[in-house]
Structure 1
Amino acid sequence: MRLTYLALVLAAPFAALAQTRPAPAKAPVVLSPGNMQLQPGGGAENRPDKAPSFPGGEEAMGDFFTQHVQVPNKAKQARVTGDVIVTATVGTDGKLTNPKVAKGLSPECNAEALRVVQAMPAWQPATRRGVPVPIMVQVPVPFDNANVTKFEIDRKVPRSAKDAPGLN
């Protein structure tokens, strides 16, 4: 009788564990300028309340790239287009440090993207409870080869191609 009672006492906690179900997985938190808020209880120490931003916003960043990105000749000849994704840390002073190519196009474009990111002015740093905090960002540096595209649009079609049957 004592042995049966002892077995029931020892088995009861394991039976309770077997009946519990794991909690459903939560969707990951997406950090974006419109989705920054304080979490109850303080949240993670590295989660900012305000995201870092380029001075003047996204439009100003686009203007900065237009003025400073020089598409390498080799990339122009190969008609390389797209974005080089550079990761960097926006420090508490707003300066970008430790830039690295996360997704590249070509060695020449990658080097140019790193040069341009290092030349960027200081950003508005991210803040947590009003205190600046360092945070990593991804900066897409565009290489669209606008000159090559413009040449293709302006190029005249040879007369022999216009007169070819089926192309009119």
Structure 2
Amino acid sequence: MPEFPGGMPALMEFIRKNLRHDKAEKNERVIIQIVVDKKGNATNPVVLRSTNPALDEEALRIVSLMPKWKPSRQAGNNRNVKFVFPVAFKPSVQNTN
């Protein structure tokens, strides 16, 4: 399996730090699929589960910011592998009404 530098906790932290939550009206998740290529680049992002076009666009923007991943290896060779992860959105200001 490919690995984000620092593992899944680092991936979730990267998303949290770079995400613009102002587009979310409530807690929502967008599911993204990428291909981590043989060189470790996150390519071919696809929204597998959409909640809102603006959130989809923001989730895809996050993918474009990602550093290189550790590519997957099989039989000593790097391989292209699909990887799926959630991007969680929370509103910037919680409505208390």
TM-score under structure 2 normalisation? 0.89
Query: Mind listing any 5+ residue stretches in structure 2 that lack a counterpart?
Result: none
For residue 120 of structure 1, what is the amino acid of its counterpart? M
Give 2:50's match in structure 1, choosing from 96, 104, 112.
104
Q: Does 1:123 align with 2:73?
A: no
Higher helix share: 1
2:41 & 2:50 partners in 1: Cα distance?
A: 22
Name the SS of the counterpart of 2:5 in structure 1. coil
Give the drift of 1:124: 0.7
4+ residue runs over 3 A deviation:
none
Give 1:65's match in structure 2, choosing from 11, 15, 31.
15
Give the drift of 1:144: 2.4
Q: Is the 8 A contact 2:36 2:83 kept in 1?
A: yes
Query: Mind listing any 5+ residue stretches in structure 1 that lack a counterpart?
Result: 1-50, 156-168
Q: Is the 8 A contact 1:72 1:108 kept in 2?
A: no
List aligned pairs for 1:152-167, cutoff 5 A: 152=96
2:66 & 2:11 partners in 1: Cα distance?
A: 9
Q: Does 1:138 align with 2:88?
A: no
Give the drift of 1:126: 0.7
Q: Is the 8 A contact 1:72 1:109 kept in 2?
A: no
Name the SS of the counterpart of 1:92 in structure 2. coil
Give 2:3's match in structure 1, choosing from 42, 53, 72.
53
Counterpart of 2:60 in structure 1 is 114
The higher radius of gyration belongs to: 1
Q: Is the 8 A contact 1:80 1:105 kept in 2?
A: no
Give the drift of 1:146: 5.8
Instruction: Give the fraction of aligned pairs with identical amino acids, expressed as a percent.
Output: 31
Name the SS of the counterpart of 2:43 in structure 1. strand
Tell me: CA distance 1:146–1:58, structure 2 relative to 1, closer, same or farther (3 Å). farther
Name the SS of the counterpart of 2:21 in structure 1. coil
Kindly provide the CA deviation profile for residues 19-52 of structure 1, in whole angstroms up to 9, marking residues without a partner as x.
xxxxxxxxxxxxxxxxxxxxxxxxxxxxxxxx11
Higher strand share: 2
